[in-house]
Amino acid sequence: MTVRFGILGAAGITPSALIAPAHANPDVELVAVAARNRSRAEEFAAEHGVAQVLDSYDDLLASPDVDAVYIPLPNSAHAEWTVRAARAGKHVLVEKPYASNAEEARRVVDAVAGLPVVVMEAFHYRHHPLIHRAEQLLAEGAIGDVVSAEAVFDIHLPDRTNIRYNWDLAGGSTMDLGCYSIHLLRTLLRSEPRVVSAEARRVDGGQIDEALTAHLEFPGGIRAVASSSLLEDAERQSAVVTGTRGSIAIEGFVKPHGGNSLTLTVDGHSTTEEVAPDVTSYGAQLAAFVAAVEEGGPVVVDSADSIATMEVIDACYRAAGLEPRRAVPWSL
């Protein structure tokens, strides 16, 4: 079976997140793209080998040539178009975050429940062998009992016109970057945290967080810190899990195909390995999505996981004195 993809929008993330892995996957075909600007869609299709350009998102969802859609639209549009696509009978790979807030995420889950389609949030890093290796070590008790953890994702993005700084589009550092830090901690510790406190750097005193650090507590008294920033001097994507016998330090966890390392320290002795640098997290994600579509199996980042992530994000904003991102009204 070939899964025929349509793309909503011509977002900059799409060549890495879908185009390249699709061209490398014999079970995927890129058949259509639609954007608000048709000329932009035409340029995108010509550049990336997409067969058709359709006039609107609705036209793409109505196309019998499309089996699945990839949604890389602004955060504020993820929920609505996920529901529209699923109700049109299309499988959905939607960029993170799943929705603008937890309430909207629950609304999406309720709306698509029971539909015969796969809906998966695109936390691509989750599918890479680097993360599987860290999970394996923790499951084996390699560092003893976990006592603390931290994860950080920083980039340098000074352009305040970027959509990540836009309140109306559900922007903010935590929505765009911190969601990875939070999701990794939840993944590795296999439980849900309580947000103890959080501090944010606001943009011009408003509701957008340029940076945010959240202090979490996981079951068993495990303390953790999840942080992110849109405006640091250099990119950083690092995590450390500390146990009673040692630690696991991970570099490059968000984009492991761009270079990664895992350092295991036990009883004072350290070993470092680079895990599957030739495997792209986007390719692994697409393969997992296609397998779920073709075989009907479960997805790793399922609806319950997506809701739980948004619940933590909302709690981080409240703890920092900010509002959870506001959902754009939509009805179907």
Active site residues: 96
Residue 158 contacts residue 231 (beta carbons within 8 Å): yes
Question: CA 201, 125, 320: angle at the middle one, nearest 5?
Answer: 20
Quick check: 311 and 100 in contact, CB under 8 A? Answer: no
The answer to whether residues 121 and 305 touch, using CB atoms and an 8 Å cutoff, is: yes
- Which DSSP string do the residues of 8-67 spell out, in sequence order? ES--TTHIIIIIHHHHT-TTEEEEEEE-SSHHHHHHHHHHHT-SEEESSHHHHHH-TT-S
Q: How many CA atoms lie within 13 A of 305 on its CB side?
A: 21
- Rounded to an integer, what distance in angstroms lies between the CA atom of residue 45 and that of residue 89? 23
